[in-house]
Structure 1
Amino acid sequence: MSVAENLNTIKKNMAGYPARLIAVTKTHPVETLREAYEAGARIFGENKVQEMVDKWKQLPEDIQWHMIGHLQTNKVKPIAPFVSLIHSVDSFKLLLEINKQAGKAKRVIDCLLQIHIATEETKFGFSFQEAEAALHSEALNGLQHVRIVGLMGMASNTEDNIQVRMEFRGLKQFFDRMKATVPQTDRCQLQELSMGMSGDYEAALQEGSTLIRVGSAIFGAREYAE
């Protein structure tokens, strides 16, 4: 199936859910991204900073670029002028650097706190307790160039659909509790819950995701190894 056909299939599966689709474009060439753009995709997600910058320069200006991969503090500066949303804020140290670089770019950058919900130790993210402390911290109120707009989580890499659903459900319950208890301010406006990838996005939709990150189900296998 073509990129356009794959996109249409996913959009049909999303019908009735209040979620937006992020086309995960990592490792795919600009020509393939243009196919997705022509088929209506306007939010592209990248894992690598340099790849995002290179593609941003070559593609239409109305594309929203989302950083979904692990982000090191020394890699924030190149994307600060244009990134729409950073999903993978996994430490307060990173948040401070995003605030610094956003200030230099005279912007406010929307961010999601990444929560560690999987069983794998290799995945990044705040614990629930750490995230709650960060959201309630006085330090957050002092950051004038970032806005926390939600949470992100990656489920365990397992074929156990029950486990995946439980991880998504736990994150949704935490998200709902934070929405109810964290004051909504200029620095914190919890609206988005980024859960679900190609293999589990339908479960994520059913468990309350507002942003799904889909790559291989749109573009097929990666064009080259990372």
Structure 2
Amino acid sequence: MTLAANLSSIRAEIAAACRRVERDPRAVRLVAVSKTKPASLIDEAFAAGQRLFGESYVQEFLDKADAVRNPVDWHFIGHLQSNKVKYLRGRIAMIHSVDRLSLAEEIDRQWGRLGRSVEVLVQVNLGEEDSKSGVAENQATELVRALAALPHLRVRGLMCLPPFFADAEEVRPFFRRLRALAAAISALGLPGVAMDELSMGMSHDFAVAVEEGATLVRIGTAIFGERG
């Protein structure tokens, strides 16, 4: 299948998942995970109607962003080191992977230099996996409270990268937990904090994620093929 056909198929699956739970498909945005893929494929996806792309590595993003000919929207979705935040300053629309206050403070400093703010999501490690980043579930609310005090961050929601299961149904409880956590944080009414976004779901489980309330699904392999 062509890249355009892959995108069309994924959009149809998102719409079908939304219909099953009576959601508006327009409430779900597709993040095309373009890490390890060349700028030419991003331009090809743009031509097929895709506008939002996710990168995981700062250096790769820098190498690629200037080579992409079209005005795409960039989200940073990978683990981010504080000393590399300055390279993303003003170039990223949303950071999905804020998992500690020190990182958030550096993001605040860097965007503050521009007199601008950036949308962020708090990454939660629901599976308590040592191999994955993310704040512990029982510490997420405390972190969001701290982030709410930073003037150049706009906390928009939560992100998770749950344990991998071949059967997507086994991932469903993790998505439900993230949605419940977002609802609990939203109920606190913290100034400047919104829980409008849930970044969850990847190529093998995004339909389940959409059924459970995902507003951002991060899909790479099903669009671009296996990473080389």
TM surpasses 0.5 = yes
Q: Taking structure 2 as the reference length, what is the TM-score of the superposition?
A: 0.91
* 2:202 is equivalent to residue 197 of structure 1: yes
* 2:168 is equivalent to residue 161 of structure 1: yes
Q: How many residues align?
A: 219
How is 1:173-188 mapped onto 2 (pairs within 5 angstroms)? 173-183=180-190, 185-186=191-192, 188=193
Deviation at 1:163, TM superposition (A): 2.9
Distance in 2, matches of 1:82 and 1:111, equals 13
Q: CA RMSD in A?
A: 1.4
Residue of structure 2 in register with 1:86 after alignment:
95
Distance in 2, matches of 1:141 and 1:34, equals 36
Residue of structure 2 in register with 1:96 after alignment:
105
Distance in 1, matches of 2:88 and 2:220, equals 21
Residue of structure 1 in register with 2:141 after alignment:
132
Of all paired residues, the percent bearing the same amino acid is 40
User: Is the Cα contact below 8 Å between 2:127 and 2:163 reproduced in 1?
Assistant: yes
Query: What do the CA deviations read for 1:4-50 (whole angstroms, capped 9, x no partner)?
Result: 00000000111133210000000011111111010011000001111
Residue of structure 1 in register with 2:42 after alignment:
33
Distance in 2, matches of 1:61 and 1:131, equals 36
Deviation at 1:128, TM superposition (A): 2.0
Distance in 1, matches of 2:70 and 2:86, equals 19
Kindly report structure 1 stretches of 4+ aligned residues shifted beyond 6 Å.
none
Q: Of the candidates 73, 81, 86, which is equivalent to residue 82 of structure 2? A: 73
* 2:14 is equivalent to residue 5 of structure 1: no
Query: What do the CA deviations read for 1:173-196 (whole angstroms, capped 9, x no partner)?
Result: 11111112232x33x222100000
Residue of structure 1 in register with 2:177 after alignment:
170
User: Is the Cα contact below 8 Å between 1:80 and 1:101 reproduced in 2?
Assistant: yes
Distance in 1, matches of 2:207 and 2:128, equals 20
| Structure 2 stretches lacking a partner, 5+ long | 19-24
Deviation at 1:125, TM superposition (A): 0.6
Q: Which moved more, 1:208-217 or 1:54-63?
A: 54-63
Q: Which moved more, 1:169-178 or 1:20-29?
A: 169-178
User: Is the Cα contact below 8 Å between 2:100 and 2:135 reproduced in 1?
Assistant: yes
Distance in 2, matches of 1:86 and 1:35, equals 24
Residue of structure 1 in register with 2:61 after alignment:
52
Distance in 2, matches of 1:122 and 1:44, equals 24
